[in-house]
Amino acid sequence: MTGYNFAYLDEQTKRMIRRALLKAVAIPGHQVPFGSREMPLPYGWGTGGIQVTAAVLGPNDTLKVIDQGADDTTNAVSIRRFFARTAGVATTTRTAEATIIQTRHRIPEQKLHENQIIVYQVPQPEPLSRLESSRIETTRMHGLAEYGLMHVKLYEDITRFGHVSLSYDYPVMVNDRYLMAPSPIPAFDNPKMDMMPALQLFGAGREKRIYAIPPYTKVVSLDFDDHPFRTTRAPHACGLCGATDSYLDEVVTDDRGGRLFVCSDTDHCETHRDVGHVGSEGVAA
């Protein structure tokens, strides 16, 4: 695109973000403040992820952008177009073919590999924000690794409801040191973060924070010995591909309680159908 630099950001801004990224990788789970820029997309719509992707992306990359697990959701389309326009990079919907995957709210079902980078869009990087509103205070808590507040909150949940009531953005401990917000992915995806072979980068534009998890890093969802962490998914098979291990979207099909459950990860579903799997509502490929 004429008049703008490769991948939109100017080089000085990219250097600033790159320096923050390297420190983030060296201190897994620690939120590094950065001079987040005003992007031509609204705050809260992926400006942090976009800035991270723009600082990392090169002409040899193949980019995949998903929102809610799907490549075709409008905001994913909009962000993918932004990079196709400003960087001219190849894009794909195939998880296996992508070198960089920018995501909002999901981790792909297919296991990521060592030569991939996943960039998460993060609305609220501070895992303690609902318990302590002041960032001055939460910064101090991270400095001292003082996370009692979060354990108390989870335990109160257990006493009240019988188990932890958090179902997404479920807090994790990274490398036994930092409490970290995994971004609003369903807790179902949390175990994928542990010892993931791909590099995980997190960008929060409005809150001006970058953090990272290097490959093969220990990521533990907070729990208690007598109440171990467990994930939930809708207890159904995908109506299109029949998968029983994927995270499902619930589609309302009529006004009489009709429901259809389909894979949230659209590429996973298509790949599954391409090799011949058919769900109860699907048609053979």
Residue 156 CA: distances (Å) to CA of 120, 159, 160, 242:
29, 5, 6, 38
Instruction: Reply yes or no on whether 238 is catalytic.
Output: yes
Residues 245-274 contacting another protein, CB under 8 A: 247-251, 253, 260, 262, 264, 266, 269
| Closer CB to another protein, 37 or 151, in the complex | 37
Minimum Å gap between C-beta 96 and another protein is 20
Residues 1-60 contacting another protein, CB under 8 A: 4-6, 8, 10-12, 14-16, 18-28, 30, 32-40, 42-45, 47, 55-59
Q: Which of 48, 203, 269, 279 is catalytic?
A: 269
- Binding segment for another protein (CB under 8 A), chosen from 90-98, 147-155, 169-177, 220-228, is 169-177
Minimum Å gap between C-beta 127 and another protein is 16
- What distance in Å separates the CA atoms of residue 56 and residue 194, rounded to the nearest whole number? 23
- What distance in Å separates the CA atoms of residue 72 and residue 89, rounded to the nearest whole number? 18
- What distance in Å separates the CA atoms of residue 83 and residue 87, rounded to the nearest whole number? 5
Minimum Å gap between C-beta 160 and another protein is 10
Q: Where are the beta strands (DSSP E) in the chain?
A: 32-33, 62-67, 90-91, 100-104, 117-121, 172-174, 178-180, 199-204, 209-213, 219-221, 248-252, 259-263
Q: Which of 48, 205, 241, 279 is catalytic?
A: 241
- Binding segment for another protein (CB under 8 A), chosen from 89-97, 147-155, 186-194, 221-229, is 186-194
Site string for another protein, 73-102 (x = CB under 8 A): xxxxxx--x---------------------
Cβ-proximal residues to 114 (8 Å cutoff; 6+ apart), any chain: 197, 198, 215
Dump the DSSP string for 14-53: HHHHHHHHHHHHHSTT--EE--PPPPSS-TTSSHHHHHHH
| Closer CB to another protein, 35 or 152, in the complex | 35
Residues with a catalytic annotation lie at 29, 238, 241, 263, 269
